[in-house]
A and B are shown apart, each in its own frame.
Chain A
Amino acid sequence: MEMLYAITTGILTACGLYLTLRGRTFPVVVGLTLLSYAVNLFLFSMGGLTTDGAALVNEGTNIADPLPQALVLTAIVIGFAMTAFVVILAMRARSEVGNDHVDGKKEDHE
């Protein structure tokens, strides 16, 4: 499971990074979203991966670390708010500047 998990996180990060480096705002926003998913997965795995473990300390021997779960919850909420904000910002930029390039240029080459 560790291998699958690591590969998933890695691919998400790589795709997110690639898209974030694009020149148009839409791919950038999608890239940031993918990055935040990857980060959430990564954070989740930081307490060690446990299957069928309760996130409570006094519930038998097989326990999962509850802290990363709390952290992920916070990170998801913040990530959601940020994504909503950046979508609106990208739309405002599109309407004010007249195109969707992150630098506000008409063409990629000037």
Chain B
Amino acid sequence: MIQHLIVFPVVLPLVAGILLLYQRQGLVRYKRTVSVVASILLLFVSIALVNQAASGDITYYALGDWQPPFGVVLVLDRLSALMVLVTSILAVGAVIFACGGDDEKGSNFHGLFQWQLLGINGAFLTGDLFNLFVFFEVLLLASYALLLHGGGKARIQASVHYVVLNLAGSSLFLIAVGILYGATGTLNMADMAHKLSNLPAEREGLVTAGALMLLVVFGLKAAILPLYFWLPRAYAAAPAPVAALFAIMTKVGIYAILRVYSLIFSDQAGGLVALEQPWVWWLALATLAAAGVGVIAARDLRLLIAYLVLISVGTLLAGIGMRSPAATSALLYYLIHTTLITGGLFLLAEMIGLQRGKPGTRIVKGRPLVQGNALALTFFIGAIAVAGLPPLSGALGKALMLNAAEGGERLWLWPLLLLTSLASLIALSRAGSTLFWRSHRGSPSGSNLSRYQWIGMLWLLSAAPLMVAFAGPVSSYTQATGEQLANPQLLINSLLPDAGDAQ
């Protein structure tokens, strides 16, 4: 049982998704129960996985007992365990929120939701480049359908862009994987890293091309500057629980960049060491700047939060661009914080929009809200956390990031990160004061919100104080993760015991 634990985050949502397909309409209670129970089970499994990974051992699960490098493997190290945990925490919040009524606006919400979890968890756990592609496709297919959940013109238009871009991205992914396979003769990431250390010189060009094409693909998923234009519209149009789950989707891209370039193109990769670094670093800074402008310009609360997601993408990528264990540790702490808080804010925006009625989430004057005080208080907490003001987790995350920058990097990162924080602070305070204070006279609008929506939203936003209270254990875990990632030989040795001898 315990040795099969690694495959559970993939199998559990798969089985739950199949159970949920039983009937397209109706059976609301049954579906909600199955989906919530599956998500909570996933949470327990991922806590167990983090416990297992925290010891520092790297374990793998060889499907069908085909040993690496030939078989398909799922690899559990500190990073993948952490990412699966963040996903499942987010999923529990989003699923509970969806039980408040969003799931019945279209068909098969819960089934698709579980399958998206399957794709995301698989992408985090896999140790194989082609399987990464397959899991990307699984999560994308589920996300296409989820983005359309409930229908409507805005969603369909955003979907067309999102689907076409991602299909083109998938083609590019396959080309890149093909090139890397052709040049190295393997698809297993650990084996590829091992093979790169004695790569014939004439193949370096090919591998460079493949590696940079992969960066384009991951950049599209993560929404780096020239490739982010799909994100604000898609996230603003998506149904709230889906948008909350999408908060982890950009992090899948970031995880892939972190994993592939720290493992395959590590210090052992000869002439190919850190070939992504200049691209990632400068594009991350440019993304930060563009997202800061976008946040100020957004006239809709959901669009504003979508740009906050972009700010987090820029910040995280800058952390990857610094390429040091300290920066990795800081960015992982920031990643947990930003995923959960932006997810919670998407849910909160939906609740505000529901209660406001006709003006929705547009930042304009409206009638006072029935539960205005409670919503305003949670918005205030969420805004403080996401803008990075003390005493909540955003401040700590950003301080860690700023602290991790060294020398010349400070010159660029400090002003940009602080200015975008200022921009988001201005935008959020403007949005909050318009939404809650500048209201018309008259009777309050809207009816009371569902209990489930409150629970789901508060579950995610409570991460902000909790991550400060438990900052010690969390940051010591992320520090250990950073060190583990900086030493990819550990992973290679545990997957390929023979590889060490050749060195």
Contact = CB atoms under 8 A, between A and B. Distances in A.
Interface of A: 16, 20, 25, 28, 32, 35-36, 38-39, 42-43, 46-48, 67-68, 71, 74-75, 78, 81-82, 85-86, 89-90, 92-93, 96-97, 102-104
B181 A20 contact: no
Contacts of B137: 78, 82
A101 B164 CA distance: 13
User: Of residues A74, A82, A102, which shows the largest number of chain B Cβ atoms within 10 Å of its Cβ?
Assistant: A82
B163 A46 contact: no
Contacts, number: 84
Given A43-B174, A43-B177, A82-B141, 15 more contacts: A20-B164, A32-B168, A39-B178, A42-B178, A47-B181, A67-B187, A74-B130, A78-B137, A81-B141, A82-B170, A89-B148, A92-B156, A93-B159, A102-B161, A102-B164
Interface of B: 130, 134, 137, 141, 144, 148, 151-153, 156-157, 159-161, 163-164, 167-168, 170-171, 174-175, 177-179, 181-182, 187
B163 A103 contact: no
Given A78-B134, A93-B156, A104-B157, A85 B141 contact: yes
Contact of B171 (A36, A68, A90, A92): A36
A93 B168 CA distance: 19
B160 A71 contact: no
Given A71-B130, A86-B164, A46 B179 contact: yes
A93 B158 CA distance: 10
11 contacts: A38-B171, A47-B181, A68-B181, A71-B130, A74-B130, A78-B137, A89-B144, A89-B148, A89-B156, A96-B151, A97-B156
A93 B134 CA distance: 27
Contacts of B159: 89, 93
Contact of B134 (A74, A81, A85): A74
A89 to B, nearest CB: 6
Contacts of A46: 178-179, 181-182
B155 to A, nearest CB: 9
A110 to B, nearest CB: 15
Given A67-B181, A71-B130, A25 B141 contact: no
Contacts of A25: 160
A39 B175 contact: yes
A25 B163 CA distance: 12
A71 B173 CA distance: 13
Nearest to A83: B167
A39 B130 contact: no
B319 to A, nearest CB: 32
A55 B141 CA distance: 31
Contacts of B148: 89, 92
Given A68-B181, A96-B156, A28 B141 contact: no
Contacts of A82: 137, 141, 167, 170
Contacts of A85: 141, 144, 163
A47 B156 CA distance: 40
A75 B175 CA distance: 11
A28 B152 CA distance: 22
Contacts of A38: 171
B144 A35 contact: no
A103 B182 CA distance: 38
Contacts of B167: 32, 35-36, 82, 86
A103 B175 contact: no
Given A74-B134, A89-B159, A97-B156, A42 B175 contact: yes
Contacts of B168: 20, 32, 35
Given A32-B168, A35-B168, A86 B163 contact: yes
Contacts of A78: 134, 137, 170
Contact of B178 (A16, A68, A90): A68
Contact of B174 (A16, A47, A75, A92): A75
Q: Which 6 A-B pairs have the closest CB atoms?
A: A46-B182, A46-B178, A43-B178, A35-B171, A39-B174, A39-B171
A20 B165 CA distance: 9
A90 B170 CA distance: 19
Contacts of B141: 81-82, 85
Given A85-B141, A102-B161, A97 B153 contact: yes
A92 B179 CA distance: 36
A66 to B, nearest CB: 11
